[in-house]
Amino acid sequence: MFAIQTRRIHAVVLATLLLLVLGVVGSGQAQAGSCDGRQYSDRSETVCSSTPYKTTQGWVVGYRDSFENTGVNKMTASCTATTSSTVTYSLSLTLGVEAKAWIFAKISASVTGGISWSKATGYSTSTTFDVPRGRTVVCERGVVTQRFAGNRITTVDYKDWRPTVRKTSGWTGFAPSMTRWKTYTL
């Protein structure tokens, strides 16, 4: 008797969970992170952005110089940035301030060391390095950027006989993460 009741309870719980999961997946909104809805006289539109995900890191150069060693011995060189550039948070689509801030917050939380809305490469900063004989060394001062992407899902529900229209488009963006010197030998 007790075993039969336990099985019934398990079956009811399982069926309820299954219906909940199917309801969420069936609605098409399961992966939406931020949604905005508007009502018009002939239709309603919902625009949802998925939670953004990190892709690759990028590099924006603000200052570049090089040293060529034509001598017979190794030499020591120094780079001092004399100009600065500013890198600003950017998205490939037009969004409201709230949506941009939401995406920025989601990416910022997933990047070690965080990201900034804008960051300058800086000037009057320097680095010292060795240049092997017969080689050229390039020094760059720049900003490491975190690139990210997501999806935008637009759903239009018409109030007449026309079918619901759903359009998905991808978007990308980047935000400055940290300033850095890079040196490499050509």
pLDDT digits (tens, 9 = 90+) for 63-88: 899 999 998 899 999 999 888 888 88
pLDDT the model gives residue 16: 37
Residue 95 pLDDT class (50, 70, 90 cuts): low
Average pLDDT, integer, range 119-127: 83
Q: Express each pLDDT in 8-61 by its tens digit.
A: 433 333 333 333 333 333 333 334 467 888 899 999 998 888 888 889 999 988
What residues form DSSP beta bridges with 152? 49, 169
Residue 2 pLDDT class (50, 70, 90 cuts): very low
Q: Indicate the length of the chain as a whole number.
A: 186
Buried b (16+ CB within 10 A) or exposed e, 115-153: bbeebebbeeeebebebeeeeebebbbbbbbbebbbbbb
Whether the pTM exceeds 0.85: the reply is no
